[in-house]
Each structure stands twice: as C-alpha cells, then as structure tokens.
Amino acid sequence: MEKKEKTIITYIILGILVVGVIALGVTYAFWLLTREQEGTNIVKTTCLNVTIENEQDNILLERAQPISDEAGLKLKPFKFKVKNNCDDYAEYTINLEMLEETNLKSEFVKIALNEKGDKGVPTNLKEYEEYKNLKIAGTKEGRTLKTSKLKPSEEKEYELRIWMDKDVTIEDDTMNKTYKSKIIVESKNTDKPYIESILNGTDPVLDGRLIPITINEENGQVTRADETKKWYSYAEQKWANAVILRNSVEDPGPDEPIDENDIESYFVWIPRYRYEIFDEGNYGDISTKANKVQIINIEFENKDEAVKSGTISGQMLTHPAFTAFDTNGIWVGKFETGYNGAENTKGAQVNPTNEATAIEAASKVIIKPNVYSWRSIQVAKAYTVGRHYEATLNSHLMKNTEWGAVAYLSQSVYGSHQSIRINNNSDYLTGYAAKVEPTTGYTGSSELCNNTPEACNEYGGSDQGVDGEYNTNYFNKESVIASTTNNYTGVYDMSGGAWEYMMSGMDDNTGYGKLSAGRHSLYNSGFNGILTCPECNDNNVQINHNITEVTNGIDLPTDERFYDKYDYSTSSYTYNRGIFGDATKEMGPFQTIKYSTQTRYVSSWYDDEAWFIIAGLPWFRRGGNYTLGIGTGIFTIGHENGHGWADNSFRLVLAIQ
C-alpha cells in the first residue's frame, strides 16, 4: 500500500504578549492570549478532515497574569476536530510550531491538550518531544503534542488551553516577550493494524513514545513488532507489551531487534473488561479462611458499551480501573520501578527532598529487568515522580484498583490462573523468580529452616543479570513462573521483591473527604494533610505529639482519577471497606495464622497475607517482599504509614486517552 502523507495546517495562531507593569514598586508579569481563526473548515481531503469550531476569533484570558494549573484548566478552550473519512486507518500527529516572532521560552508556557470531556494534563511545553521537520517558514521550534490513529469514519474532538506557568517570577526572562504558534496536523494512510476479535475493541492503544514489541519465548530478547501482524494473543495468554526507548534512540523498523541497553521502560497492556462478581466481600471481622481460589470470569468491554454496575455475586461489573479514566485499557509497568544509574541496592534508596526534586527525579525512572528497585521513597514523592515521568500519557503511581485489574486478569483464562512465584532476590533486583515455591510464612531464620531449607522461604542476593543460589534472573526462561501469564509477556514482581506503595489511602476522618497524610510527624507520606495517629510512639522514637497535620509537604491531588480513597477505621480486618475489583474485600474470608512466633492475617486466596489500612497505617502497599514466603503473592495486602522504608518500592501506570 502506498503511504500518502497529507499535511494539514490549521492556521491557529496562539499569541502570548508579556508586558511589564510597575505597581507599588513591584514588577509583575502580565500577559494576553489571542487566537485567530481563518476559516471554519481549514482542510478537507478525500480522507482526512480537520475543522475548527470556535465562537470567536479572539479570546481574552480571564486572568492577565501567570496562573495555576487549576485555573488554566478552566480557561475557555480552542476546539478542533480530526476525522478520518478513509476506508483505511489513518495515523496523525498534532504538532505545535513556534513562529518567528516568538521570543518567550517554552519552559514558561503550560498547555493542556485533551479529547473533549477529559480534564487534560497540564504540561510544560518543553516536556513535549521536539521535532525538526518544521512546516512553516521561519518557525523557530516545534513540539509534538500527540500521535494517534483513527479507525475508518472515526472522529476525535480536541480542546487546547494555553497559559503561563504560575511559577514564573520576576527574575525569569519573561518581560516584554511574545509567544505565537500554530497547530500543524499531519496524517498518512496506514495499513490496518492487527486486532484480536476476542478483545472486543480493547486492543492496545499506542501513542507518543510507546513502541510495540514481541519477546522471544526462549531468552526474553525484544523485537520491534509489526503492528499489522499478530503480535499478541490474550486467548493464548500472550499479553501485548511495549517499550519506551531512551531519548537518543530512534524507533527501529518492524521486525527489527531492539538492544536491551536502548530500552528505558517496559509496559504491559491490560485491556478493559467487566468481570462476574464472585464474592460480595461482607467481611468485617476475622473468621476461618477457606480455599476460595477460582478462575475469574472476564468479558472484554470497550468504552463505547454501557457500563456494567453489578453489586452482588453473579452480576457483571465493569472494572473500576478503566472507568476512572474512561479508557480501553491501561499500560502497567512490567516491573517495579528502578532507579536509573544505581549500581547496588543501596544506590536505589532515594527519597527526593521536596516536590521540585521529585519532579527532577522523574528522569531517573527505569522499568526493566535486572535493575535495582527504587525504594525508601515516600508516597507523595513516588506520586510526583509518576505524574512527571510521561505526563502526556497520564503516567501515575499505581492504584489499588489498577493492581486488582492485573490480578483478576491473571486469575482468568487469559492469564496464568495460578499462584505467582515470589521474587526472592534480597538485593531487590527486578524480574527474578525463586527456584522453589516457599511453603512457610517466615524468612528461613528458624532452626527448622536451617535443618530443612527445602521446606522454607529461602532467599538471597545475586549480581545483576546473574542467577543466584536461590533464584533465577529474568533472561533465564525459568523466570516466567513469576509472571502473571507464566510466559515472558506478563507482569513481573507482583509477588515479592519489594512491597509496592499504592496511590490508595484512608479518609482522614475529618469529614472533608481527604486522604490521611500518614501516622505522625516522623512517619508519613509527605503529603499535606491530617495525621491519623499523632500521639503514637513507635519504639520510643522521639516525635512531636503536638503536630497533628503536615503543612510543609506536597499537596494531595484534587483529581480523583489518580487515587483510591477508603473509609476510616481503627481495625485492620474490616475488609468490607474495600472496593470491588481492588483484590481486597473479595479475597475473604480471612483468618489469623501463627508462623513460629509471628501472627499474620491471611486471605482465602493462596494464604496471601492481608492487612487492611487503619488509623496510623493509612496507606496501602501490595505484593509483599522477598522475606514473606507463602504469605507473599499477587493478592497480598499490606498497610503502612507512607514513610520511605527500605523495603517499599512503587509501580507506574499509563492511562492513554
């Protein structure tokens, strides 16, 4: 098929004029935004149609000064549509080119581009990928805002908002500057991509930097997938994988190998689905566990279908991980997040000092096998890192409901539907698998374990990428037992490795519906908010009991899509507070079990440990760590205070809209 490129120039002129005004001896930066429309239907070809719909040619911003992201998202948007009138699929990019008159730096400009109805993600213009193939004479700079595809007859409507970053100061070079740009939409016909009928339209969504891949079943080596050929099959438990390449690496051609050193991060596609409720989760106390393990009934459901809202056993429920962002699926980090450049386990223990350094630390994200898991990071810092890793792809810290979406898919006919083998690498290297399934719930330090090590939870470290005495590394094909699919295409480290903090916490019990900041002044999440146990005294650690609230941290997110919130309680076994689909409340009944001298709560699914969040320990963590033995698994539930502990890591998710 001949590829015909068609460039669509929409002639949207976006101008920001910054002038200086002196008032009371202080200099402020004021600015004005105008948009000029030249014609309603700018370009119409036989295939692609781009239209601009705006009530007026010139729009005056509501505030003539730098404004917050919250205020920016309330600005009246500039609207335009892209429609594919072809019989074939069309690929298009939305670019923004800065015209010759522009002398205001991109770093001072914030934009939000989103499909109609979505809130959009405020992003500094400089964070978008720069492109060199400029179309307008005299253009100084170009940024790619979005790359996507349209099915035949499909239409998408976009809303664009632009404002000046609230952090601009009088010291910045913004006085008497002008910013003017144009939107450029480029499109080309593309071959029809492979789709799997069983997915019912929830096939992988590739956008921006995500590169589709296939993985060799014998050695884990990666090849760039040809999207027109079969590169995944959920019917065969082969989930779609994609990678983000390092900035200096170009996208190779289809069927070309990709060097592991060129990969920055791996992601796995979890398609949108509904599932049959199998347990109503009415567990408000400890009782007697049972073997409730079963195959979870799943039906793939695209976002254009009516949402299922079941509440009792036997009814279908659209999984909440997908309704939050109204997506056809989510991309989940294939491994625990690593710290790029760490040469040992200690080097990956990094807790940024504040929000600004957490934003900078997003450049250290690496999601790969055989790297040191990023630990000792507070929840607020992990959240900030996640939101700034790939902001245009809605990157964020994983939520409980999203963990549950992976767990339930794994426990369906489309996954391994078996216990996930523990990663027992004590150096916190990602992608490892224990050689022997643990049979006890403690660490191997007892006399019994010393006498009969084969019956215990043995663990140990290793060199990077090398098999250890008790474990195998990712590129040894025996490691697939630790995957959610029992092959290389699944998600790893969901059992063992490090505990993983979730962006899921407890109500602070003040009546305002906000998440608790943490335990007390010493052990907390780093978010601003109420502390749920300020009077607690942990091991005689000196704390200030007069501090009942964190005020010098990071603001809690106001966008409810990015977190799960649970009711307040002082009991760690009121599991009925859980959310359907989050792999907590439905895993009962729950029981107390004693391993040697250790008392544990366990669920009816693989005897995985189950500690629900409570006052003082108001943040969820999942999966367990390398020491928990039989208590570690994909259904393991943990609670913590939000502090940056050495055995806590985190995982990232992309929600492409």
* Greater model confidence, 185 or 618: 618
Q: What is the pLDDT of residues 93-135, one digit of tens each?
A: 888 888 777 777 778 888 888 887 676 788 888 888 888 778 7
Across-strand partners of 242? 212, 267
* Greater model confidence, 588 or 153: 588
Instruction: Give residue 440's pLDDT.
Output: 78
Cβ neighbours of 614 (radius 10 Å): 19
Given a contact cutoff of 8 angstroms between Cβ atoms, the answer to whether 605 and 597 are in contact is no
CA distances from 415 to 11, 233, 296, 403, 448 (A): 49, 11, 10, 14, 35
- The whole-number average pLDDT for the span 599-605 is 94
Average pLDDT, the chain: 86
Confidence of residue 31 (pLDDT cuts 50, 70, 90): very low
- SS3 of residue 72 by DSSP: helix
Instruction: Give residue 562's pLDDT.
Output: 97
Kindly report which listed range (2-11, 319-328, 593-602, 642-651) carries the lowest average pLDDT score: 2-11
Q: What is the pLDDT of residues 285-294, one digit of tens each?
A: 999 999 999 9
Cβ neighbours of 462 (radius 10 Å): 19
Q: What is the pLDDT of residues 436-474, one digit of tens each?
A: 888 777 665 555 666 655 557 789 999 999 999 999 999
Q: What is the pLDDT of residues 306-345, one digit of tens each?
A: 999 999 999 999 999 999 999 999 999 999 999 999 999 9
Interatomic CA distance for residues 528 and 433, integer angstroms: 38
Confidence of residue 172 (pLDDT cuts 50, 70, 90): low
Kindly state the percentage of the chain with pLDDT values over 70.
Answer: 86
Q: Which ranges constitute the DSSP H helices of 420-490?
A: 447-451
Cα dihedral: 64, 69, 73, 78 (round 10): 60
Q: What is the pLDDT of residues 350-401, one digit of tens each?
A: 999 999 999 999 999 999 999 999 999 999 999 999 999 999 899 999 999 9
Domain residue ranges of the chain, discontinuous segments joined by +: 5-190
- Kindly tell me if the per-residue pLDDT of 62 is higher than 60: no
Q: Which ranges constitute the DSSP H helices of 371-434?
A: 379-389, 400-410
What letters, b where the CB count within 10 A reaches 16 and e where it falls short, cover 308-321?
beeeeeeebbbbbb
Give the pairing of strands 273-276 and 316-318: antiparallel
| Amino acid making up residue 129 | E
Interatomic CA distance for residues 3 and 226, integer angstroms: 16
Given a contact cutoff of 8 angstroms between Cβ atoms, the answer to whether 602 and 289 are in contact is yes
Tell whether omega for the bond before 589 is within 30 degrees of 0, i.e. cis.
Answer: yes
Which of the 8 DSSP states describes residue 612? -
Q: Give me 193's structure tokens.
A: 């991509």
Interatomic CA distance for residues 654 and 656, integer angstroms: 6
* Greater model confidence, 534 or 172: 534
| Amino acid making up residue 524 | N
Q: What is the pLDDT of residues 197-244, one digit of tens each?
A: 999 999 999 987 899 999 999 999 999 999 999 999 999 999 999 999
Q: Answer left, alpha or beta for residue 488, where phi above 0 means left and psi between -120 and 50 means alpha.
A: alpha
Report angle CA 366, 559, 274 to the nearest 5 degrees.
80
- Kindly tell me if the per-residue pLDDT of 44 is higher than 80: no
| Amino acid making up residue 162 | I
Interatomic CA distance for residues 204 and 242, integer angstroms: 9
* Greater model confidence, 487 or 170: 487
Kindly report which listed range (24-28, 216-220, 249-253) carries the lowest average pLDDT score: 24-28
Interatomic CA distance for residues 490 and 406, integer angstroms: 10
Given a contact cutoff of 8 angstroms between Cβ atoms, the answer to whether 529 and 517 are in contact is yes
Instruction: Give residue 285's pLDDT.
Output: 94
Residues whose CB falls within 8 Å of the CB of residue 489, separated by 6 or more in sequence, listed in order: 215, 232, 237, 238, 239, 240, 241, 268, 483
Instruction: Give residue 51's pLDDT.
Output: 59
CA distances from 394 to 210, 306, 655 (A): 13, 24, 5
Interatomic CA distance for residues 182 and 556, integer angstroms: 35
Confidence of residue 11 (pLDDT cuts 50, 70, 90): very low
Given a contact cutoff of 8 angstroms between Cβ atoms, the answer to whether 114 and 657 are in contact is yes
Residues whose CB falls within 8 Å of the CB of residue 640, separated by 6 or more in sequence, listed in order: 499, 501, 617, 619, 620, 621, 648
Q: Give me 185's structure tokens.
A: 């939409």
Residue 278, exposed/middle/buried by CB under 10 A (0-12, 13-18, 19+)? middle
The string of DSSP letters for 161-172 reads EEEEBTT--TTS
Q: Which ranges constitute the DSSP H helices of 267-423?
A: 320-323, 355-361, 379-389, 400-410
Q: What is the pLDDT of residues 493-514, one digit of tens each?
A: 999 999 999 999 999 999 999 9
- Please count the residues of the chain: 657
Given a contact cutoff of 8 angstroms between Cβ atoms, the answer to whether 106 and 98 are in contact is yes
Q: Is the dihedral of CA 514, 520, 522, 523 positive or negative?
A: negative
* Greater model confidence, 565 or 33: 565
Confidence of residue 48 (pLDDT cuts 50, 70, 90): low
Kindly state the percentage of the chain with pLDDT values over 90.
Answer: 61
Report angle CA 322, 324, 328 to the nearest 5 degrees.
30
Residues whose CB falls within 8 Å of the CB of residue 175, separated by 6 or more in sequence, listed in order: 18, 19, 20, 27, 29
- Kindly tell me if the per-residue pLDDT of 597 is higher than 80: no
